[in-house]
Amino acid sequence: MAKSRETFNKKEKEKLRQKKKQEKVDKKEARKSNEKSTDFEDMIAYVDEFGNITSTPPDPTKKRKEIDVDSIEIGVSKTIETEDDGAGRKGKVTFFNDSKGYGFIKDEQTQESIFVHVNGCLDQIQENDKVTFETEKTAKGLSAIQVKLVEK
């Protein structure tokens, strides 16, 4: 008598295939029987005054809050600019490269690092010098100009 060609592993794989096929057919039948409403009213969603999505329309008798459009600020900077922003600031040179002609000044008041180029200097500066300067807005941020050494 010859040995059967079907092994236990082959039988198990075939059972799994049949089971998956049956599950797929069952899911298909469930989708067909559970028809969704395509009514336009069921598709509409509303947003209430708190930003929550609801299915009920807003009450037209409620008074809406008026918002001043000019008071909305987009892209507010970290530091608030003052009227005398560019005039008479004091700081200390934290880094300056003589060969390349640029460096950075740390502002005493705001503790921010401000770029300085040799073209914006009135006096010769070095690292750790105390200076007074003005600032100008450039494409890459603030830049120090009119840089002078402070007399000791």
The helix (run of H) or strand (run of E) holding residue 13 is helix 8-33
pLDDT bin (cut points 50, 70, 90) of residue 84 is very low
C-alpha to C-alpha distance for 27 and 16, rounded to whole angstroms: 17
Secondary structure element (H or E) that encloses residue 107, with its range: strand 102-107
Residue 115: name the closest of 131, 98, 102 by CA: 102
pLDDT at 152 over 70: no
**pTM of the complete model:** 0.44
Per residue in 31-60, pLDDT (tens digit) is: 888 766 667 777 889 888 788 998 888 887
* Averaged confidence pLDDT in the chain: 84
Would you say residue 105 has pLDDT above 80? yes
- Looking at 31-40, 73-82, 88-97, 106-115, which range is the least confident one? 73-82
